Amino acid sequence: MIRLIDNLLSDLFRKSVLPVYNYGMGNREMSLLALLLAKYLHEEIKQLNNPINFRNSSSCVILQILMKLYGKMKLQQLQMAELNQKLIHTDFHGKYFNLNPFNLFQSITGIKPKNIDQAMSNATVIKIFNDSKEFLIHWSMAYTEIIFGKITEYPDIVRYITISARNDLKKQFPMQSDAIIAQFRIHVIRKLGDDTMIQNLVPYYILIQNLWWYTT
Q: How many Å apart are CA 130 and CA 121, to the nearest integer?
A: 13
Q: Is residue 123 part of a domain?
A: yes
Is the domain of 118 the same as that of 92? yes
CA distance 53 to 44: 11
> How many structural domains compose the chain?
2
Give 115-137 pLDDT, tens digit per residue.
Answer: 999 999 999 999 988 888 888 77
Q: What average pLDDT is seen over the chain?
A: 69
Q: Annotate 135-163 with b (16+ C-beta within 10 A) or e (fewer).
A: bbeebbeebbebbeeeeeebbebbebbbe
Q: Domain check: are 59 and 159 in the same one?
A: yes
Question: Which residues span the domain enclosing 129?
Answer: 73-150
pLDDT digits (tens, 9 = 90+) for 46-73: 887 776 676 666 766 776 676 666 655 5
| CB of 37 closer than 8 Å to CB of 62 | yes
In a domain, 82, yes or no: yes
What pLDDT is attached to residue 115?
94
Give 193's pLDDT tier (boundaries 50, 70, 90). Answer: very low
Q: What is the pTM of this model?
A: 0.43
